[in-house]
């Protein structure tokens, strides 16, 4: 299978704070499959950078600067990169990759229902989305 995966889950240090969210169980599940690493945020920002969140479809950093236009372009480029993927695995709560839950845009740590910008594009283009919290479902698809 060909699977698009958030680069931070694979161990790439692309998060806003220069770290990753390496998921050893996920990486082991994906062995033997074609993986497409994606990170719209790394296409826009130097690492590290100010935290960003999404609110009402706008992506802003913690200083209030609007990055929506640049992030939209990056998300569209990532969408082109994943053409032909069977499904995508995205980092939960991310302003670009969050699926089902995202931070509310106030930088207070509050979680709300919603999707990040890239996750929304994936859904609009018919991709099935999972997060690192769906390991059992992913395992079932891959066996």
Query: Could you report the per-residue pLDDT of 88-121, keeping only the tens digit for each?
Result: 999 999 999 999 999 999 999 999 999 999 999 9
Q: How confident is the model at residue 143 (pLDDT cuts 50, 70, 90)?
A: confident
Q: Say how many C-beta atoms besides its own lie within 10 A of residue 113's C-beta.
A: 8
* Residue keyed to tokens 């826009």: 44
Report which DSSP code applies to 138: H
The pTM assigned to this predicted structure is 0.95
φ/ψ (deg, to 5) at 86:
-75, -35
The count of domains in the chain is 1
Range of the domain at 62: 2-110+117-142
Give the tens place of pLDDT for each residue, 42-59: 999 999 999 999 999 899
Q: Is 56 exposed, middle or buried (0-12, 13-18, 19+ CB in 10 A)?
A: exposed
Cα 136–Cα 140–Cα 143 angle in degrees, nearest 5: 130
């Amino acid at each position: 299978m060909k699977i698009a995966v958030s680069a931070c889950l694979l161990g790439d240090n692309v998060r806003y704070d220069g770290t990753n969210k390496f998921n050893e169980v996920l990486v082991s599940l994906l062995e033997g499959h074609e993986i497409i690493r994606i990170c719209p945020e790394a296409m826009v920002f130097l690492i590290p950078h100010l935290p960003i969140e999404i609110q009402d479809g706008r992506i802003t950093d913690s200083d209030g600067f609007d990055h929506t236009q640049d992030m939209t372009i990056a998300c569209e480029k990532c969408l082109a990169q994943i053409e032909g993927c069977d499904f995508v695995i995205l980092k939960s709560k991310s302003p670009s990759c969050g699926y089902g839950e995202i931070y509310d845009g106030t930088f207070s740590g509050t979680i709300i229902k919603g999707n990040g910008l890239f996750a929304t594009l994936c859904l609009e283009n018919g991709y099935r989305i999972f997060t690192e919290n769906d390991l059992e479902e992913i395992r079932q698809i891959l066996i």
